[in-house]
Amino acid sequence: MRTRREFLTVAAGAAALGPAVIRSSALGKDGAVPPNERIIAGGIGLRGRGMGVLGWMLPEKDVQFVAICDAQRSARENCKKVVDQRYGNTDCKAYPEVREFLAERTDIDAILTATGDRWHALMSIWAMRAGKDVYTEKPSAMTIAEGQAVVATAKRYGRVYQTGTQRLSEGHHVFCYELARTGRLGKVHTAYAHIAPWDDAYMKHDWLPAEPEPPKDQVDWDAWLGPCPWRPFNRAYIGGGWRGHYDFHTSCIGEWGAHTFAQAQEGLGLTDTSPIEYEFVDNRYGDGMVAHFANGIKMILSRGNYKGVNLFRGSCGARFEGPEGWATSGDGGLEVSRPAFMADQKKLLADYVARTGRALSHMRNFLDCIKSRQPTVANPTVMHRSMTTVHCANICMWLKRSLKYDPVKEEFTADPEANRLRSRAMRAPYTY
Question: Could you read off the pLDDT of 67-80 as tens digits, one per residue?
Answer: 999 999 999 999 99
Rounded Cα gap, residues 422 and 283, in angstroms? 22
| Per-residue pLDDT, 30 | 57
Q: 379 in a domain, yes or no?
A: yes
Q: Is residue 374 part of a domain?
A: yes
Give me the number of domains the chain comprises: 1
Q: What is the pLDDT of residue 262?
A: 98
Could you list the residue range(s) of the whole structural domain that residue 357 is in? 167-201+249-420
Choice between 5 and 92, residue whose per-residue pLDDT is larger: 92
With respect to residue 311, please indicate whether it lies within any of the assigned structural domains: yes
Do the domain assignments include residue 227?
no
CATH number at residue 396: 3.30.360.10
Q: Kindly report the CA angle at 215 between 211 and 220, in degrees rounded to 5? A: 90
Alpha carbon 31 to its chain's center: 30
**C-alpha–C-alpha distance, residues 186 and 179, integer Å:** 9
Q: Are 300 and 288 in contact (CB under 8 A)?
A: yes
Which residues make Cβ contacts (< 8 Å) with residue 31, sequence separation at least 6?
61
- The pLDDT assigned to 34 comes to 78
Residue 431 domain-assigned?
no
Decide if 256 contacts 139 (C-beta within 8 A).
Answer: no
Please indicate, yes or no, if residue 29 is contained in any of the structural domains. no
Burial 240-264 (b: 16+ CB within 10 A, else e): eebbbbbbbbbbbbbbbbbbbbbbb
Domain-embedded: residue 86: no
pTM value? 0.92
CA angle 128, 134, 135 (to 5 degrees): 160
Q: What is the pLDDT of residue 150?
A: 98
Q: Do the beta carbons of residue 238 and residue 213 sit within 8 Å?
A: no
The 3-state secondary structure of the chain, one letter per residue: CCCHHHHHHHHHHHHHCCCCCCCHHHHCCCCCCCHHHCEEEEEECCCHHHHHHHHHHCCCCCEEEEEEECCEHHHHHHHHHHHHHHHCCCCCEEECCHHHHHHHCCCCCEEEECCCHHHHHHHHHHHHHCCCEEEECCCCCCCHHHHHHHHHHHHHHCCCEEECCHHHCCHHHHHHHHHHHCCCCCCCCEEEEECCCCCCCCCECCCCCCCCCCCCCCECHHHHHCCCCCCCCCHHHHHHHCCCECCCCCHHHHHHHHHHHHHHHHHHCCCCCCCCEECCCCCCCCCCCEEECCCCCEEEEECCEECCEECCCCCCCEEEEECCEEEEEECCEEEECCHHHHHHHHHHHHHHHHHHCCCCCHHHHHHHHHHHCCCCCCCHHHHHHHHHHHHHHHHHHHHCCCEEEECCCCEECCCHHHHHCCCCCCCCCCCC
Among residues of the chain, what percentage have pLDDT more than 70? 93
11 assigned to some structural domain: no
**Residues 282-293, mean pLDDT to the nearest whole number:** 98
Q: pLDDT tens for residues 15-51? A: 343 444 444 444 455 566 777 789 999 999 999 999 9
User: Would you place residue 326 in the very low, low, confident or very high pLDDT band (cuts 50, 70, 90)?
Assistant: very high
pLDDT of the residue at 33: 79
